[in-house]
Structure 1
């Protein structure tokens, strides 16, 4: 009887080991795959949730970390500044190393959508590596990309929770549109003056906080404007980012030192909103915090 039990136990163990590895029998259920549609409208299908992800998009890196998928990340770019990924190898910056990407053996690489990097995506896919195009234009693309990345990285619950938190933060900072809504100019560059267009996430965040862009008629997402026109429109506030660019005081000093900029009343009177670059320069987990920062400055609570 005991030998029989041992043989039965051995059979059970053998079956369990076979289920964990080796060739599956013909009638075994197929591996559960995942798929999602990216910003280019392409369906990205994986045989299983990605375990080794390289993110070439800093906002996607931040979203994956915040969604609880940090352990799936195996590579980043030199533009990623989140401390959680500082230990990861960099594959480069504007011109990443394809050799380095391949050496990290990723099962998914996140790239900017085709409008920004079609050749890069083609080169990566030519190596048999799936890619996912992340949209970074507006908040809608951010939330869509977050949900898709959560699915592909096996972090659906974390992505859903993060999306809910971000929406709550944006809603909490929101101010209804009114006639006295102050105008802002989002300073992307000083010489020549460059700003964000009305359809971008930066303007959407500012709008949620109770501001309106001084250039609602721009057709480009990132556009240069003439100094003369900027002076003529006299935005009530300037919106700048701080961090590597300097402190708020340093940014104001730079504006006052630039010809043309000091002709703006907002510069002379110090009406400058300074938001940490990590919150506003990319459409990521910090958008709601950026909106709250803007609202506190331009619409302080009495």
Structure 2
């Protein structure tokens, strides 16, 4: 088979970009699509190959064989793929994948695999047979991929461990890696059950996940579920706030948390802790007064994949040191 020269491929990309512009002008995307709207995730029909995928627009695609040129446009996709397929089947990953502060798979993918930003040109360049996206991906780029006939796996929810597990199982079905996906999910369940056993029956300390910007998470977020599974009570529940939000310092102080947890992006976590200790308004907050300020690795706190379990495992001993000290003996 003749090889496609770089110049010809570049010309093809320019032509594709021109086609994209024509499609936008002739058939502009709906407001619902651009905003995320009510679009759900990709559905998979069939146990073996060929399989049918129903895309977010309701169109059916036939996947004749397991994808071998997979492009991940989301960090959760990079992380899920790491435990499901060999790197040789991955054609591109996100530009965030090598940042150990937020990525749990830094160093996993060879440097020969392109790192991309998620623009339509980046997504098309590796000539993918599957692109992994989420509701946070550029909606217009996703729509253009679908219009170009590229198979898209769109994941709509990462707000609970049940949703993360369902995403892994769905991706496993798409990739023909059902057994690997089942093993990953089983490992997640086993590890979460082990933590639950350790903290069962113990009082739940009042916990606040916090940052200098005031970012936190209420019910309906993985942050909230992490706290609960680690044996804590999320003080944001007292406010009626749901999902990921920002709260004012005044509100955070009024909640009187007994434990405050930060995301550690640098590896030491000292910066955030020293900052809060130096704030006079916080000095009588129980967590500050009692020295219960902790930093968890940022990649564990923000992950939308199987690696989020590590955050629960790290948080639980901070909330219940006595339980894990007993286990160690």
TM-score grouping bracket, smaller chain normalisation = 0.7 to 0.9
Question: Aligned ranges for residues 258-297 of structure 1 at < 5 Å?
Answer: 258=279, 260-297=281-318
Task: Provide the residue aligned with 1:183 in structure 2.
Answer: 206
Match of 2:225 among 192, 201, 204: 204
Aligned-pair distance for 1:69? 4.2
Aligned-pair distance for 1:72? 1.9
Task: Provide the residue aligned with 1:127 in structure 2.
Answer: 148
* Change in CA separation of 1:290 and 1:42 when aligned onto 2, cut-off 3 Å: farther
* Change in CA separation of 1:262 and 1:47 when aligned onto 2, cut-off 3 Å: farther
> Structure 2 length normalisation: TM-score?
0.73
Structure of greater Rg: 1
* Change in CA separation of 1:237 and 1:40 when aligned onto 2, cut-off 3 Å: farther
- Higher mean displacement: 160-169 or 177-186: 177-186
Residues of 2 paired with 1:252 and 1:41: CA distance?
48
Aligned-pair distance for 1:274? 2.2
Aligned-pair distance for 1:196? 0.9
1:30-51 Cα shifts (integer Å, max 9, x gaps): x931246789998764222211
- Equivalent pairs counted in the alignment come to 265
Aligned-pair distance for 1:204? 0.8
Say if 2:110 is the partner of 1:89.
no
Match of 2:195 among 170, 173, 178: 173
Q: CA RMSD in A?
A: 2.6
SS at match of 1:297: helix
Q: Is the 8 A contact 1:182 1:237 kept in 2?
A: yes
Say if 2:258 is the partner of 1:254.
no
Task: Provide the residue aligned with 1:34 in structure 2.
Answer: 51
Say if 2:82 is the partner of 1:65.
yes
Match of 1:80 among 67, 88, 97: 97
Question: Aligned ranges for residues 91-130 of structure 1 at < 5 Å?
Answer: 91-92=116-117, 96-113=118-135, 117-130=138-151
Structure 2: which 5+ runs fail to align? 1-47, 99-104
Aligned-pair distance for 1:186? 1.0
Q: Is the 8 A contact 1:108 1:132 kept in 2?
A: yes
Task: Provide the residue aligned with 1:227 in structure 2.
Answer: 249
- Higher mean displacement: 41-50 or 205-214: 41-50
Structure 1: which 5+ runs fail to align? 1-30
Q: Is the 8 A contact 1:173 1:288 kept in 2?
A: no
Residues of 2 paired with 1:268 and 1:283: CA distance?
33
1:198-238 Cα shifts (integer Å, max 9, x gaps): 11112212211101110114444111112222111111111
> Structure 1 length normalisation: TM-score?
0.79
Q: Is the 8 A contact 2:165 2:306 kept in 1?
A: no
